[in-house]
Amino acid sequence: MFSSLSISEIYKNTALTFRVKEVLYRERSPYQMIEIVDTYDWGKVLQLDGLMMTSAKDEIFYHETIAHLPVTLKPTIEKALVIGGGDGGTVRELLKYPQIKEIHLAEIDEEVVRACQAHLPELAGGLSDPRVKCFFQDAALFVQDSPAKTYDLIISDSSDPVDFAAVLIEGSFFESVKRILKPDGIFIAQTNSPLAQPEEVKAAWDNLKRVFAYQQIAWSLIPIYPGAFWTFTLASQSEIPLKIHPEYHKPETLFWQAEFSTGLMTVPPFVRQILDS
């Protein structure tokens, strides 16, 4: 591909490769290989075990959607839990809302947080905010051990559902999430690409449907992920409003606009076919 230094994600029979200016961090933690590199075209990129997690150029499409969509739908959120999300991008967006008083981050790999605080402060800077408390433990155990009816919002900002993260789209995990959500609380998970990973999209949907009374697919475009067309799935025990509240969206954003909610929660027929298959 490139004769000089590069970084790739190979997903099945497709590869995405960026030419690298500089390697900023490259260490193996007890859980995974962590790499942060500065690329020519996408700015700084975080890879975990060879999988693209985020890039400076396109992270807004992911972090703004996963954080602002649920808050725009349910503006009374005071206490939130972020599962995974060690790069800090999702927490950074939640911190833009003054009504959110407390954010817990359950991230298995403390070294991801430390590496991002050192090399991606534009994402991870908010993790040292006094409203944020980090718990470095397995998210599946964290949700199992948390008290019932604790959170207004839970966001699963997980890595791909492989290895230790595979459990994060299973029914048993969703049962624990339901238990620790307040009765009118809302859950949103990143649920992969219907183009590249239709089986994972369907598995998450089916497992959520067995556990929660209401669920709703939303989508965004994340160019550095396999398939680029990416889904997020909302779930709740109370009805998920499809009517947006633009007045609840005040923060400065570069991508997200409250008016997108309706469009991004409109399920394209090719996605509906996967969910109904």
Which residues are near ligand SPD by CB under 6 A?
51-54, 62, 85, 87, 89-90, 157, 159-160, 190, 225
Q: How far apart are alpha carbons 191 and 160 in whole angstroms?
A: 9
- In angstroms, give the least distance from the CB of 87 to ligand SPD: 5
Q: Which residues pair with 190 in a beta bridge?
A: 232
- In angstroms, give the least distance from the CB of 246 to ligand SPD: 25
Cβ–Cβ under 8 Å, residues 177 and 143: yes
- In angstroms, give the least distance from the CB of 79 to ligand SPD: 20
Distance from the Cα of residue 28 to its chain's centroid: 22
Q: How far apart are alpha carbons 55 and 260 in whole angstroms?
A: 22
- Composition of the chain by helix, strand, coil, percent to 5: 35, 30, 35
Q: Which of 115, 105, 171, 176 is nearest to 140 (CA)?
A: 176
Residue with tokens 């923060």: 251
Q: How far apart are alpha carbons 199 and 164 in whole angstroms?
A: 18
Q: How far apart are alpha carbons 131 and 89 in whole angstroms?
A: 15
Active-site hit among 58, 87, 157, 160: 157
CA dihedral 157, 185, 200, 272 (to 10 degrees): -130
Nearer to ligand SPD, 190 or 231 (CB): 190
- In angstroms, give the least distance from the CB of 153 to ligand SPD: 16
Cβ–Cβ under 8 Å, residues 64 and 221: no
Nearer to ligand SPD, 51 or 267 (CB): 51
- In angstroms, give the least distance from the CB of 190 to ligand SPD: 5
Phi/psi of residue 149, each to 5°? 55, 50
Instruction: Check if 157 is active-site.
Output: yes
Nearer to ligand SPD, 55 or 244 (CB): 55
**Residues designated as active site:** 157
